[in-house]
Amino acid sequence: MSKPIFIIRFPYIPDQDRERFEKHYQQIAEQLSDYHVLSLIDGKSERVEFECYNSPHTDIEFEEIKKMVLETLKVSQ
């Protein structure tokens, strides 16, 4: 079975924050090694949003993953 895909959509990020964006992406990708993690900047989004495809996990587990990602983003700011 192939890995599920976890997508993180960030709102607009100014150029000076791109390095921090890359750092967040690397940390999250390491924590979610069972997933293909894709991170992108979405100028239409006003907040961080998540999508997940082909995951065997339940909605509750998905909510736990989202919470973990948001905590990682808070800690590393």
pLDDT score at 2: 84
CATH architecture of 5-75: 2-Layer Sandwich (3.30)
- Taking the C-alpha atoms of residue 50 and residue 65, their distance in angstroms, rounded to an integer, is 10
- Taking the C-alpha atoms of residue 41 and residue 18, their distance in angstroms, rounded to an integer, is 10
Q: Note down pLDDT in tens along the chain; length 77 residues.
A: 689 999 999 888 777 778 888 888 899 999 999 999 998 888 888 888 999 999 887 888 889 999 999 988 875 44
pLDDT score at 51: 93
pLDDT score at 8: 92
**Domain locations in the chain as residue ranges:** 5-75
pLDDT score at 50: 92
